[in-house]
Structure 1
Amino acid sequence: MSFDGSFTHAMVRELNQVLTSGRITKIHQPYENEVIITFRAHRKNYPVLLSAHPNYARVQITEIPYANPAVPTNFAMMLRKYLDGAILNSVSQVENDRIINFSFSKRNELGDTEELLLAVEIMGRRSNIILLNNTTKVILDTIKHINADQNRYRLLLPGATYITPPSQNKLNPFTDTSHMDKQLQKTYPNQEVLATELRKTYQGLNKDTSLELAYFLHQHSTDQAFTEFFSKFDHIEPTMTSDHKKSNFTAFPYLTLAGTTETFPTLSRLLDTFYAAKAQRDRVIQKAGNLVHVVKNDLKKNRTKLKKLDQTLASSEKADAYKIKGEILTTYLNQVKRGMTEITLPNYYDENRAIKISLSNQISPSQNAQKYFKKYQKAKNAVHFVNEQLAKTHAEIDYLDTIMTQIELANPEDLDEIREELEKEGYLKPNQKKRKQKRVKPSQPDVFYATDGTKISVGKNDAQNDRLTLKTAKKTDIWLHTQKIPGSHVIIHTDKPSQQTLVEAATLAAYFSKAQNSAHVPVDYVAAKRVHKPNGAKPGFVIYEGQNTLIVDPDEKVVNQLKTKQS
């Protein structure tokens, strides 16, 4: 389900109950389209996520930690200038549209009270966050600047007058008294057709909500059915409904959605759970920038090189054939005449069966024999060289494969260390500007807790893996890794884990690996003292011996359960 107008109504009510009269204490912009504003209200801090992401636009209180970027954006600086310390008067919705207005009061440098408005427009790829003077309606700044070439109806630029998005001339279902729903019910008895007409008539209904409303109206044929349905958005039961295909979030259970349901104490907690993986993956892709491009390019080059080396090795296997032809020519040299282009001679290496040998008519018989010996020597030397190059290329592909897996599994804060590693290894040119800044702060492995309370650590990049395995882990701790599959180093912080803890840790190792979407994944486990790093090995590479192996299936539910136990 999308963040439609009816869900927005419920969210505005939740935000008002918690945030009204609160003071802004912190503002930062961790990602391009997202702002975190922390409110101090009722002696508690509430980080509020304002997202103008084209796919995940929303407003909510969030419990997910966000890293504050080292250099604030221009928009974040503008928000701090005008809103730092401001008092929230109210949170309101424009009709039943997906526009949420945060109204603030703040004293300016002269001591005069300024009325400010922060408008969050949740409209897919047109989503935006707009700061304006609430008295003059002049825009102070926007997270996305929209000029006349992009939108003829309104400018969204500093200095322009703020105009709300064009009205669709639909009825607000929370305030409408025309009873149009009754007329539509009589005209369109089919539920799906009725749902379509309800969407055309009433503001802020997406497909799921209109289908649920049509179903409710058919089930409750009373004059108050329409009002009763929308009153549910004021008495919420935040619900996520999931089947094997997808999940949906709703303000209360929708009977028209099939699947298992899970309820949450607040709409914000529901959205944290629903968007955690989806939005995180998008942020990683966004922040990874050219990392993915560089790694994919190097992988492609090395795989092409591998094919060529395999072809060279295959041709080098003809070395013995060159030697045999040279020896046979030498033995029967008196039968070879200058100017011949080929000759058939007995092959004493193969029960004297005849062998046809190609000759050059430009050189002597003995030079033809020497030519085959030279080809033999060249091919023989190539075998040794090619085998060396094959080993290096295989190692390079394994390393890049591991990096690619780490990028896919990374949290945004893990990417700085991956970038730094690629710079050190020569895959990326060092950024001279960033070099002058503070050194990348080491990120920390993810921490989980087994069912019996045993701590389990999971490295998410090579730097974390090396620190975790070689420095943090005790020699008696148990180390786990997917067998011959790129993935995370996992440490069970005990020398005698239960079988259940071993299986749970192996499940984590399988989930945080390239085999995340596979089944029956082999995971090796061994005491950390048996894990060693060869001299000169690339980051994250280790060897081990004396291991045992478990076969497990990656399971996201198990991962979430073990993560929840931490909190």
Structure 2
Amino acid sequence: MTFDGFFTHSMVKELNDTLTSGKVMRVNQPYPAEMIMVVRAHRHNYSLLVSANPTYPRIQITNIPYQNPAVPSNFAMTMRKYLEGAIIESIEQISNDRIVKINFTNRDELGDNQKLVIYVEIMARHSNLSLVSEPSGKIIDTIKHVGSDQNRVRILLPGAPFVMPPKQERTDPYLPNQKYSDLVKQDQGDLNKLTRDLQQTYQGLAFDTAKELATELVNADNLPAAYEGFLNKFNNPDPVIYTNEKGQTKFAPFPFDGISDGKNQHFATLSEMLDAFYNQKVENDRTKELAGQVLKVVKNELKKDRRKVKKLHHQLEEAADADYYRIRGEILTTYMGKLKPGMTEIELPNFYDDNKPLKIKLSPELSASRNTQKYFTKYDKLKASVAYVNEQLKITQDEIDYFENILSQIDIASPADVQDIKVELQEQGYIKQRNRGKKKRKVRASKPEQFHTSDGTLVLVGKNNLQNDRLSFKTANKNEIWLHVKDMPGSHVVIRSTDPSEQTILEAAQLAAYFSKGRNSDHVPVDYLRVKQLHKPNGAKPGFVIFRGQTTINVTPQKLNH
């Protein structure tokens, strides 16, 4: 099912039971559309995630670790100012809609009590989070600013009055009513029609929830008891994730008869279930979101570099014709006496080609010696440019290899890896840094990913250049084994053993192939050697190393267990 009004009802009850009377200790905004509040309640710290992500909007307690950006956003700073130290008084649902109201009490700068409210709207692309001051009803800030040019009905900007979304003309299912009974009689057991009519009648009914309610009502002997029993299930959830034969998953607050086929996995809380359900999906989405700016910069730099390579090759082609100018200069030198002022062209024997006649263009305004010198100057310039052009070609090609390596790292990156890549590009000058006048805050690289081979040996994999440099030259011991795919972008891999078995080396090589540009190939060559054989040239870009004395094996990419 989706995060509909009924699921919101269950989640609000869970959050109320867990967080009410808790104190907000920290507020972070690790991702653009998401906020996390660390709440101390019942002698335990809980991370309350509020997400306005258009694809995965939700509110829940999460145990998934996250990494904060180096510089907090303005929104995060505002939330910290008003919410850190605040007490959660209650968490409410507005009717049976996908709107959650979190009530806080805190003290302002003068020490006076102040009431604050967070409105969480879980509505796909219209999802938002608004901090509102009570009783004035003025917005302090929103995670997404919505001006009049975007929405004429509601303006969600700091200082504007908070206005609730337009209310649907549907019945709150938790209020006393008999509409379900009328619908059952009207639809005469037609399950699909009853499902649609229930959705049109009651607030907060997604299709799966409506179908489950329709099924229970159609099969019920006592309609009021069945209806009340269905509502009560959301107060006592048994969270479950269903996986069908195709590997597709759905979640529900309790087992639904309509989607009971396949593998069922039960969880202690709704939040634990959502962590399990969204973990990989959200990770990929967050990575794409954070990687947007990085990808734009990398692709622009690649485009410029490839255009530059094309231009440099054209210059080399011109330099290859340098002899064209030398031959004409030498012929003019030999027959200089035949050159007359004002000539635009002269035909002379080419002693480099059996004295065949050769037409040579002249500049009429120049003297004979100046015309001759003009050809030699052009020849010298072209010959001198070859060394420079070749040097520029190497520099540019190295930069192309560097950016292609960045692109391959983004393909396998987590959000923390993308943050590292962004910091690296800032340090290299490809992305402008904000707050230049302020003292730079040193950012530590995230930790490499850990795996274990079949005999239990630890293998570390760097998934970005900052991790690679730290792993290869700080973390690894000099006699441990280092691996990297041959002649293509890939991760630095270190076996934390000075004497690994052949099987361990094979499995680590498979891992190095998996975390590389060759991950979709069947046979990937992988080099391995002792860490002490690595060398990083002065001025080399992050992640670049040179080595010799390696052994190469061919493997099929494969990921190991963590």
Q: Which TM-score tier does this pair reach, normalised by the shorter chain?
A: 0.7 to 0.9
2:173 aligned with 1:170, yes or no? no
Cα 1:314/1:20, change in 2 over 3 Å:
same
Amino acid at match of 1:90: S
Amino acid at match of 1:235: P
In structure 2, what is the equivalent of residue 309 of structure 1? 312
Write the distance in 1 (CA, Å) between the matches of 2:538 and 2:378.
Answer: 38
Write the distance in 1 (CA, Å) between the matches of 2:434 and 2:450.
Answer: 31
Q: CA deviation at 1:98?
A: 0.9
Q: CA deviation at 1:137?
A: 4.8
In structure 1, what is the equivalent of residue 243 of structure 2? 241
SS in 1 for 2:179: coil
In structure 2, what is the equivalent of residue 398 of structure 1? 401
In structure 1, what is the equivalent of residue 367 of structure 2? none
Q: Deviations over 1:372-395 (max 9, x none)?
A: 999888766665554433322221
1:272 to 255, 270, 275: 275
Q: Which moved more, 1:446-455 or 1:114-123?
A: 446-455
Q: CA deviation at 1:46?
A: 0.5
1:531 to 529, 534, 539: 534
Q: Deviations over 1:74-123 (max 9, x none)?
A: 54455445543443343222222111122344567888765543221112
In structure 2, what is the equivalent of residue 488 of structure 1? 491
Q: CA deviation at 1:49?
A: 0.8
Cα 1:262/1:346, change in 2 over 3 Å:
farther
Write the distance in 2 (CA, Å) between the matches of 1:241 and 1:554.
Answer: 24
- Paired residues of 1:445 and 1:457 also in contact (CA < 8 A): yes
In structure 1, what is the equivalent of residue 132 of structure 2? 132
Amino acid at match of 2:528: Y
- Paired residues of 1:328 and 1:347 also in contact (CA < 8 A): no
- Paired residues of 2:217 and 2:227 also in contact (CA < 8 A): no
SS in 2 for 1:11: helix
Cα 1:500/1:87, change in 2 over 3 Å:
farther
SS in 2 for 1:49: strand
Amino acid at match of 1:63: N
Show the 5 A alignment for 1:66-465. 66-68=66-68, 73=73, 75-106=75-106, 115-133=115-133, 137=137, 139-157=139-157, 161-173=161-173, 177-179=178-180, 180-183=182-185, 185-186=187-188, 188=190, 191=192, 195-210=195-210, 216=215, 220=219, 223=222, 232-233=233-234, 234-239=236-241, 241=243, 247-252=249-254, 255-256=258-259, 262-284=265-287, 287=290, 290-313=293-316, 360=361, 384-407=387-410, 409-414=412-417, 417-428=420-431, 431=434, 433=436, 435-450=438-453, 452-465=455-468
2:16 aligned with 1:16, yes or no? yes
Q: CA deviation at 1:290?
A: 4.6
In structure 2, what is the equivalent of residue 39 of structure 1? 39
Q: CA deviation at 1:186?
A: 2.8
- Paired residues of 1:238 and 1:266 also in contact (CA < 8 A): no
In structure 2, what is the equivalent of residue 61 of structure 1? 61
SS in 2 for 1:433: coil
Write the distance in 2 (CA, Å) between the matches of 1:403 and 1:524.
Answer: 20
Amino acid at match of 2:98: R
Q: Deviations over 1:198-254 (max 9, x none)?
A: 43333223345445656x459946555666655554332331537768654443456
Counting matched residue pairs gives 551
- Paired residues of 1:414 and 1:443 also in contact (CA < 8 A): yes
Write the distance in 2 (CA, Å) between the matches of 1:79 and 1:314.
Answer: 61
Write the distance in 2 (CA, Å) between the matches of 1:208 and 1:482.
Answer: 48
- Paired residues of 2:408 and 2:516 also in contact (CA < 8 A): yes
- Paired residues of 1:62 and 1:269 also in contact (CA < 8 A): yes
Q: Deviations over 1:251-295 (max 9, x none)?
A: 345654987665544332333344344444554555567543332
Write the distance in 2 (CA, Å) between the matches of 1:471 and 1:115.
Answer: 50
Amino acid at match of 1:482: V
Q: CA deviation at 1:370?
A: 11
Q: Which moved more, 1:452-461 or 1:318-327?
A: 318-327
Cα 1:212/1:311, change in 2 over 3 Å:
farther
- Paired residues of 2:457 and 2:495 also in contact (CA < 8 A): yes
Q: Which moved more, 1:166-175 or 1:415-424?
A: 415-424
In structure 2, what is the equivalent of residue 335 of structure 1? none
Write the distance in 1 (CA, Å) between the matches of 2:210 and 2:346.
Answer: 85
> RMSD in angstroms over aligned alpha carbons?
4.7
Q: Deviations over 1:414-469 (max 9, x none)?
A: 55654454344443455553652433344433334445443332223323211210
Write the distance in 2 (CA, Å) between the matches of 1:534 and 1:416.
Answer: 25
Amino acid at match of 1:98: R
Q: Normalised by the size of structure 2, how large is the TM-score?
A: 0.78
SS in 1 for 2:483: strand
Cα 1:322/1:253, change in 2 over 3 Å:
farther
Q: CA deviation at 1:71?
A: 5.7
Amino acid at match of 2:551: Q
2:553 to 527, 549, 552: 549
Amino acid at match of 2:474: K
Cα 1:344/1:94, change in 2 over 3 Å:
farther
- Paired residues of 2:184 and 2:218 also in contact (CA < 8 A): no
Write the distance in 2 (CA, Å) between the matches of 1:65 and 1:447.
Answer: 16
Write the distance in 2 (CA, Å) between the matches of 1:309 and 1:508.
Answer: 38
Q: CA deviation at 1:51?
A: 1.6
SS in 2 for 1:534: coil
- Paired residues of 2:238 and 2:266 also in contact (CA < 8 A): no
SS in 2 for 1:132: strand
- Paired residues of 2:23 and 2:88 also in contact (CA < 8 A): yes
Q: CA deviation at 1:15?
A: 1.8
- Paired residues of 2:28 and 2:68 also in contact (CA < 8 A): yes
Cα 1:375/1:130, change in 2 over 3 Å:
closer
- Paired residues of 2:23 and 2:85 also in contact (CA < 8 A): yes
- Paired residues of 1:130 and 1:139 also in contact (CA < 8 A): yes
Q: CA deviation at 1:312?
A: 4.3
Cα 1:478/1:172, change in 2 over 3 Å:
farther
Q: CA deviation at 1:148?
A: 4.8
Q: Deviations over 1:494-515 (max 9, x none)?
A: 1234566445544543444445
Amino acid at match of 1:400: F
Cα 1:8/1:441, change in 2 over 3 Å:
same
Q: CA deviation at 1:159?
A: 5.6
Write the distance in 2 (CA, Å) between the matches of 1:24 and 1:213.
Answer: 38
Structure 2 unmatched ranges of 5 or more: 335-342, 365-369
Amino acid at match of 1:547: T
Q: Normalised by the size of structure 1, how large is the TM-score?
A: 0.77
